[in-house]
Structure formats: structure tokens, C-alpha cells
A and B are shown apart, each in its own frame.
Chain A
Amino acid sequence: DTEVTQTPKHLVMGMTNKKSLKCEQHMGHRAMYWYKQKAKKPPELMFVYSYEKLSINESVPSRFSPECPNSSLLNLHLHALQPEDSALYLCASSQGMENNEQFFGPGTRLTVL
């Protein structure tokens, strides 16, 4: 199994809603990542988990809350988002060695109304 899966594919939510994005990998990778990508822009790193512990938080607003329940799962909890948070949210995983690529999931397209 060499893929990263993400659910849901699409999500529309209001500014008062609470929702979660889910990501799963079964490649035994030790690092998992959340990226945010706006249209026609490169992905921007949000969070990195290494061995199930948060290792990088790129000064992301607290309305985004990551969680890593186990080595295969990564969640992103969303609360009180703003319309400008509408974007493609990409999850990735990696063995974490120097020459290891990051494997990306298909993303969740989020629209905040």
C-alpha cells in the first residue's frame, strides 16, 4: 500500500461549524504533514508530526488543531474558520530520511461560507 488517503474529498462549512479532516497512511512512515494550498499557489506547510509528536507548527492560527491519534492517522480539526481559509488541504507522509520524498494524498477542497 503506497498511498495516502484523505477524507472527505470536498467539504463546505459555515464559520460557526466544527469539522475534521482525516488522513491515513499504511506505509510505516514516521512523519506526517498538513499543507494548505490556495489556488495557483504552492503548498504551504502548516504542521509536521514526527513519531506521533508535533514537531513543526508554522504559526498556524488556533482555529486549526492537528491531532495524531496513532502512527497511521492524522486529523485536522477545524473550528470558527474564516472564508479566507477556503483552500485545498493536503496531507503527506514520509520516511523522513534525507532523500525520502513526501507522498501526498489527493487533498480535501474546503469551502468556508
Chain B
Amino acid sequence: AQKITQTQPGMFVQEKEAVTLDCTYDTSDPSYGLFWYKQPSSGEMIFLIYQGSYDQQNATEGRYSLNFQKARKSANLVISASQLGDSAMYFCAMREGGNTDKLIFGTGTRLQVFP
């Protein structure tokens, strides 16, 4: 079974609008962490936001927020006020339990922002 599922291969959004990128995960470990990364066409993976399984509040970092619904095992990324520079591949990833070194990545969502 997939540990991390991103069901949207591609998304389009108009500049200045908000967009939600979906991510669901599967783990039986009560301790885990969820990460979102952005990968522009240049190739570098850029860390955006982190949510720990015990965090009571949804994580926010500037225009990025994470809609964490633990019972549904979902960790959707919300980008507000989209910019042309947000066009990139977005990966959701999970770290399970005490293994702090291994990240499991989803298949990614390609976001395209149009004027």
C-alpha cells in the first residue's frame, strides 16, 4: 500500500488565487512527521512546511499552510495568493516513528500558475 498518496498529477490556478494540493498518508505509528517540498524545474528541493503528528495546531509559513486532519490522515497544502513563481512540482513526504532519517515521498503534483 502507498504510504503517501498525492492524487492530483497536475493542478492549474490563476495568479492571486488560493490552491489546495492534496496529500493522504498511511501509518500505524503514532509518532510521525509530514513535510512539503517544492521542486522548480531547476531541480532543487525546497522545504516549505512541517507538521508533527502531535502538533495541536495547523502549521503555517507565510503563504503556505497545512490543513492537517489527523482522523482522515490527510495533510493538504494550501497556497494563498498564488504567484507565477509558485509553478513547480510539489511533493508531500512523511517521516515515520523514531526513524528520523528516512523520508517517504509521494508522487508529486505539478502546479501551474497562470496570469
A99 touches B47 (CB 8 A): no
State whether B100 touches A102 (Cβ < 8 A): no
A56 and B101 in contact, given A90-B45, A107-B44 (Cβ under 8 angstroms)? yes
Chain B residue numbers with a CB within 8 Å of A56 are 101-102
With both chains docked as a complex, state the minimum distance between the C-beta of B54 and any C-beta of chain A, in angstroms. 10
B101 near A55 (CB under 8 angstroms)? yes
Kindly list chain B residues whose C-beta atoms are within 8 Å of the C-beta of A99. 33, 50, 52
Contacts of A31 in B (CB 8 A): 100-101
Are A109 and B43 in contact, with the CB atoms below 8 A? yes
**B25 on interface, CB distance cutoff 8 Å:** no
B100 and A97 contacting across the interface, CB-CB below 8 Å: yes
Within 8 A of A (CB), among B40-62: 42-47, 50, 52
Q: Are A96 and B100 in contact (CB under 8 A)?
A: yes
- Assign chain B's interface to a size class: 20 to 34
Residues of B within 8 A of A92 (CB): 45
Interface residue? A45 (CB, 8 A): yes
Instruction: Please tell me if the beta carbons of B43 and A41 are within 8 angstroms of each other in the complex.
Output: no
What mask results when residues 62 to 104 of chain A are scored 1 for a CB within 8 Å of chain B, else 0? 0000000000000000000000000010101010111111111
Residues of B within 8 A of A96 (CB): 100-101
Contact among A48, A55, A102, A109 for B47, CB-based, below 8 A: A102
Contact call A42/B106, Cβ cutoff below 8 A: yes
| A34 to B70 alpha-carbon distance, docked (Å) | 31
Instruction: Give every chain A residue within 8 A of B95 (Cβ-Cβ).
Output: 98
Asked if A50 lies at the interface with its beta carbon under 8 angstroms from chain B, I say yes
Q: Which residues does B use to contact A, with CB under 8 Å?
A: 31, 33, 35, 37, 42-47, 50, 52, 91, 95, 100-103, 105-108
Extra A-B contacts (6), CB below 8 Å, given A31-B100, A33-B101, A104-B47: A31-B101, A42-B107, A96-B100, A98-B33, A101-B50, A104-B37
